[in-house]
Structure 1
């Protein structure tokens, strides 16, 4: 499902494993995270695996919104959810682009501030064509295309 060319944006990229995976497939990747330590680790991982030229990592506070950039062929959010970014994610996704998100969920777990409510991901990203989605054991996921 994931393309081998184009531009990817990873939100809350952490130490960069998924960004590097996308870059090794041939994509140009912009990873952002609030943690300077994580961004340094991501830059190091990209350099060590030979994809440093295909990756850019920046410290970004997503409370301020998505960073400026071109339309993304892939947007990836792993274990990160901020409903305030939903519209910006939909607007940034290129036509035919792929969106993948995993988040903590209330389904199979206790409610909490950072947990998605039942059905939240599919409702929030209803304009997209769902490829796969699910909830359970405290996690929710969605893979969809614009």
Structure 2
């Protein structure tokens, strides 16, 4: 990622502050799918609302983002809520962070890089849940950062699809790795 992009994200996160814990968009209305224990990875976590929400549910969470300001806001939110999250600064444009094993839950919300799809899949433990939300061409004018129709299903076709929706410029996927 260009330094200018990182600076832009830092400015955005500083302006927005810590926020509040929240489930990932694709899991809204389906909290029963969240494991009660285990490891979770929040990719491109921003200010950490999803990471903190997962930690409050008893998961051991690793949250990754390029923005030091976003990670600092997430850390402040976690501290205020009394939960622990491991915050990792990493530029995902350079690839996935160093291998840290597998996870029972992998979340990636509002960040799309098809080159990372194999790494997201590989990060899932057997029976692990993948939760993705990306911008989509479906119901929108399209553009460089938007998924083509069916992109998530095509990329993760080896997983058991528990939920999929494409509409209004967004695509959501809930899928489970084979046991």
Please, what TM-score do these two structures have when normalized by structure 2? 0.79
How far apart are residue 65 of structure 1 and its match? 1.7
Secondary structure of the 1:18 match is helix
Q: What root-mean-square deviation, in Å, do the aligned CA atoms of Structure 1 and Structure 2 show? A: 0.7
Q: Which structure's residues are more often strand, by fraction? A: 1
Aligned partners of 1:12 and 1:122: how far apart in 2?
21
CA apart distance, 1:18: 0.5
How far apart, in 1, do the equivalents of 2:42 and 2:101 lie? 13
Give the count of matched residue pairs: 144
Range 130-139 or range 62-71, more displaced: 62-71
Question: 2:123, 2:164 → 1: CA distance?
Answer: 21
Cross-structure match for 1:22:
54
Q: Does 1:133 align with 2:164?
A: yes
Post-superposition Cα deviations, 1:25-77, rounded to whole Å, max 9, x if no partner, equal: 0000000111111000011111110003xx11111101122212120110001
> How far, CA to CA, are the matches of 1:65 and 1:6 in structure 2?
24
**2:91 corresponding residue in structure 1:** 61
Q: What are the ranges of 5 or more consecutive residues in structure 1 without an aligned counterpart?
A: none
Question: Which structure has greater helix proportion?
Answer: 2
Q: CA deviation at 1:95?
A: 0.2
- Indicate the SS of the match to 1:113: coil
Residue in 2 aligned with 1:40?
A: 72
TM-score computed with the length of structure 1 as normaliser: 0.96
> In structure 2, which of residues 148, 155, 161 is the aligned counterpart of residue 117 of structure 1?
148
1:4 and 2:52 are equivalent in the alignment: no
Partner-residue secondary structure (3-state), 2:72: helix
Q: Aligned partners of 2:122, 2:134: CA distance in 1, in Å?
A: 20
Q: Provide the rounded CA distance (Å) in 2 between the counterparts of 1:36 and 1:12.
A: 12
Q: Which runs of 4+ in 1 moved over 6 A?
A: none
